[in-house]
A and B are shown apart, each in its own frame.
Chain A
Amino acid sequence: MSDWQSWAAPAVVIVTVAILLWRNLRPAKEASCDEECDCGKKE
């Protein structure tokens, strides 16, 4: 059992949660389009 892995894994989880929160709580870039499900933006 690697010791460094026991703190590295929670660190990855914390960073992931932070990114998820940031992605969802930041102001929308474009009011008319969602980036997860394409809505016809081809430009």
Chain B
Amino acid sequence: MSSDRTFALVGNPNTGKTTLFNALTGLRQKVANYPGVTVEKKVGTGRDRHGAAFTVIDLPGAYSLDAKSPDEEVTRAVLRGERPDTPQPDAVICLVDAVNLERHFYLATQVMELGLPVIVVINKTDEAEERGITIAAKRLEERLGVSVVPMQANERVGMEALQVALSASDLAQPQWTAVEDGDPATRYTAIETLLEGTVARSEEDRQTPSDKWDRVLVHPILGWVVLLSIVGGLFFTLFSLAGYPMDLIDGTFGWLGEQVEARMAEGDLRALITEGIIGGVGGVVIFLPQILILFFFIGLMENTGYLARVSFMMDRLMSGVGLNGKAFVPVLSSYACAIPGIMATRTMESARDRLITTLIAPITSCSARLPVYVMLIALMLPVGTAGQKALVMIGLYVLSIIGVYTFAWVFNRTLEKSEKTLMVLELPSYQRPSWREITLQMYERGKIFLRRAGTVILGLSIVLWAMTTYPKSDSEDGSEQLAYSAAGRLGKTIEPVIEPLGYDWKMGIGLVASFAAREVFVSTMSIIYLGEEAEEDSVRDRMAEETRADGKPAYDVRTCLSLLVFYVFAMQCLSTVAVTRRETNSWRWAILQVVYLTGFAYLAALATYQIGGFFLS
């Protein structure tokens, strides 16, 4: 498809840029309510009213062109035609928020000074109306000499007028006198003059429904009560509701194993398929329902606008450890996966804040930890209710939050200081959740989880099976064979180091194997315990029956707690190490991250087990 013209889409974060981009190009994209979601460069094509194709470049959200963050740098460079990988746009679609017109014109006026034709889109006119703000778009159009289009991008209101503006053969240059003075106050004075008589505000103080909700949801005490209740509800659902589909998945993999056993003669390859592939992959895939429930809740909070409020509340805590609330977006993303979380640090202006956030991001309890947590909590509380299990889970998440804050504080005190940056956080209006968006997000996340299970976990499960099978001993006994194998020898070698933590050599195999990816701990347990005696028992039953030399259960409360604490802090993710190296452009920080997290995880697990000895038998 040939493109006649290229438009750049520019605006502050959270102005509805992604929504407008989707409307113009028809490409599917994630719509988020918290700031800073547009990080990657996005390009799409659309057609104007004459059928001519045009290209749209969705540039990262920026508050100004005074490039502070890497994102803003990209926006400025593309608009100036300084990036070799992107052609300079022919015109700019500048998106401003009708509710905060003065502040959004800070960027818009800077864009107008670049000498490119501009179309100004005033978005969220419905919200402005709700707040009693009226904007005389025609008058503004006359003053600027360019098209000014009022819109409600999420409802496609004003799309027709924008299409007309895009289809004009000659796009106009704005009549705007450049503000030479670099002082923001001078620019704001010029903006005030520009907008004089174009924006009318109702005298009465209009309380929108969002304002009323916010009185409770961001309240210093009530806000936290609500947040904890929501998180508690999430984990309760995780344990109570996920059981049924998990049994179904477990049954399916069990049936699959039986089919292979019925059709193949006994031998190494059959063992590899049933114990290594079906056992290893099935052991992880069984947690798909939990992953889907987690992302349903995250999607719901994000989609309704509540997540931005959580960000706002966290800012108060973030500032206490020297970071601003912008760090919360990467930290929050890390709860899904540390990799996009670390990449989201690009929205932060200060290189020092970016580094600190990157270093602490892997402490957040990412979704890969979920299978490990669920398995160990079930072992620890075999007859516990869903509520009790949810409480332990909340405890683990709280522990990870404490870890994030503690290490942020430590790094803030030890790393060289730089200038403080201010955070601008907009709270979008609450909206009805889009079930389609939430389902789509759950589907995407489920797909990623299954893709990992079918690639990385599958590969590692096969390698682990080989390590537990070769070299072969003459003994027919499964335990003796495991002890004789390469994995068994490795576990026995590290046993003296992990013994003070309450772990035996079999757990040691799991720890070493899961260094590449945390979920591998679960599949390793499946291979080790089901491989020994492939009977009807589930892995959890086999683990619960496992005893130490003195006859006591191997997975008692102390050991399970120690393992849980280890997994809260340990790095155990090679992909994250690679991304840290890439984002910091140095092996030094990546190695420091592995060393400090693994070292602290060891000490924390050691303390848990040893102190636990005073209270638990």
Contacts and interface: CB of A to CB of B under 8 A. Distances in A.
A5 to B, nearest CB: 3
Interface in A3-31: 4-6, 8-10, 12-13, 16-17, 19-20, 23-24, 28, 31
A37 B459 contact: no
29 contacts: A1-B267, A2-B265, A2-B270, A5-B270, A8-B268, A9-B271, A9-B469, A10-B466, A10-B470, A12-B269, A13-B272, A13-B463, A13-B466, A16-B459, A24-B574, A28-B582, A31-B582, A32-B40, A32-B343, A34-B343, A34-B575, A36-B451, A36-B455, A38-B337, A39-B40, A40-B30, A42-B27, A43-B29, A43-B44
Contacts of A24: 574
A33 B270 CA distance: 37
A38 B351 CA distance: 24
A6 B339 contact: no
Given A16-B462, A32-B343, A36-B575, A9 B269 contact: yes
Nearest to B27: A43
A20 B465 CA distance: 15
Contacts of B272: 9, 12-13
Nearest to A38: B448
B196 interface: no
B266 interface: yes
Contacts of A36: 339, 448, 451-452, 455-456, 575
A21 to B, nearest CB: 10
Contacts of B448: 36-38
A6 B271 CA distance: 10
Nearest to B270: A5
B314 to A, nearest CB: 21
Given A5-B269, A19-B459, A42-B28, A34 B39 contact: no
Contacts of B401: none
B82 interface: no
A1 B267 CA distance: 5
B254 interface: no
Interface string B457-489: 001101101100110000000000000000000
Interface of B: 27-30, 37, 39-40, 42-44, 265-272, 336-340, 343, 444-445, 448, 451-452, 455-456, 459-460, 462-463, 465-466, 469-470, 574-575, 578-579, 582
A34 B455 CA distance: 14
Size band of the interface chain A makes with B = 20 to 34
Contacts of B266: 1-2
A2 to B, nearest CB: 4
A42 B455 CA distance: 20
A37 B463 contact: no
Contacts of B575: 34, 36-37
Contacts of A13: 272, 462-463, 465-466
A1 B336 CA distance: 45
Contacts of B451: 36
Contact of A16 (B28, B269, B338, B463): B463
Contacts of B265: 1-2, 5
A37 B269 contact: no
A41 B40 CA distance: 8
A27 to B, nearest CB: 12
Given A34-B339, A43-B27, A2 B267 contact: yes
Given A10-B470, A17-B463, A38-B444, 6 more contacts: A8-B268, A9-B267, A12-B269, A34-B578, A38-B337, A38-B340
Contacts of A12: 269, 272, 462
B470 A37 contact: no
A42 B447 CA distance: 13
Contact of B30 (A2, A5, A34, A42): A42
Nearest to B340: A39
A28 B578 CA distance: 11
Contacts of A23: 455, 459
B333 to A, nearest CB: 9
A13 B527 CA distance: 15
A38 B446 CA distance: 11
Contacts of B338: 37
User: Which 7 pairs from chain A and chain B are nearest by CB?
Assistant: A5-B267, A9-B268, A37-B337, A37-B339, A2-B267, A5-B269, A39-B340
Contacts of A5: 265, 267-270
